[in-house]
Amino acid sequence: MKNKIQKVLESIDGIKKANVKPFFYGRFVSKLKNSQNPEIIYNKYEKVFLITLISFVIIVNIFFVFNYNDNSNENILSSDLEEVYFKSNKNDIINFISNEE
């Protein structure tokens, strides 16, 4: 086993240097020009921007959904109160008058 391990460790002995693919300088110059393009800023931050935008839309939607639910509850409550108030109002007026007399 030790021999095998040593053999594996020695497998890179005499390793030859690899070369880059042909026309490296041309490809590099092209990449350099692209990196200096102002649009790259958008490309770099596109994902971050989209995630932020979608998160914002979702949060706003959740906010309005909860707000709408709260308002609807209030509406039901106030209409109940209105009903109760108007129902009792007539009797109260009559009673009041009768008491005075």
Partner 1 sequence: MEEKVLIKRLRSGDEKAFRFLVDKYKNLIFNTSLPIIQNSEEADDLTQEVFIQIYKSIYGFKEKSSLSTWIYKITLTKCFEYLRYKRRKKRFAQIINLFREDGTSIDVPDFNHPGIILEKKEDAKLLFEAIDNLNNEQKSAYILKNIEGLTYNKISKIMNKSTSSIESLIFRAKKNLKKYIEKKLNNKK
Query: Which helix (DSSP H) or strand (DSSP E) does residue 69 occupy?
Result: helix 40-100
CA-to-CA distance for 9 and 13, rounded, in angstroms? Answer: 8
Which amino acid type is present at position 42? Y
Contact between 97 and partner 1 by CB under 8 A: the answer reads no
Which member of 23, 32, 37, 54 binds partner 1 (CB under 8 A)? 32
CA-to-CA distance for 98 and 27, rounded, in angstroms? Answer: 102
> According to CB under 8 A, which residues from 1 to 30 bind partner 1?
1, 4-5, 7-9, 11-12, 14-21, 24-25, 27-28
Query: Where does this chain bind partner 1 (CB under 8 A)?
Result: 1, 4-5, 7-9, 11-12, 14-21, 24-25, 27-28, 31-32, 35
